[in-house]
Amino acid sequence: MLARMISLDRASGAWDVRTGPFQEEDFPGLPDHDWTLLVQDVDKWDADVRELLAQFRFLPRWRVDDIMISFAATGGSVGAHVDHYDVFLLQAQGERRWMID
């Protein structure tokens, strides 16, 4: 499963990216803030997520690649960036300040 862990060291302002796969043992030692986990292709592994994608069949299939799920601890972010593909955002829980240009 394709996954990335993005974290920010607020003291230095440095970003860190680790690529998976990750093991269950990797998570208990994480701080309670300033990191985000991104997991790609979740629709290929989880039937409930695949069913969510089915609700968007009205979109042309060539416009849809996969469902990526992100989980962010308090203060977690992926930082300012530009995606070179279309993105449809569905926030399921919590609060987030989105800035879209």
**Predicted confidence (pLDDT) per residue in 15-44, tens digit:** 999 999 999 999 999 999 999 999 999 999
> What is the Cα–Cα distance from 39 to 67, expressed in whole angstroms?
9
Q: How many domains does the chain have?
A: 1
pLDDT band at 89 (very low <50, low <70, confident <90, very high): confident
Residue 61 in tokens:
């299939």
DSSP string, 23-53: -GGGSTTS-SBSEEEEE--GGGT-HHHHHHH
The whole-chain average pLDDT of the chain stands at 90
CATH number at residue 35: 2.60.120.650
Task: Provide the whole-model pTM.
Answer: 0.85
Q: Can you give the residue range of the structural domain that contains 89?
A: 1-101
pLDDT band at 86 (very low <50, low <70, confident <90, very high): confident
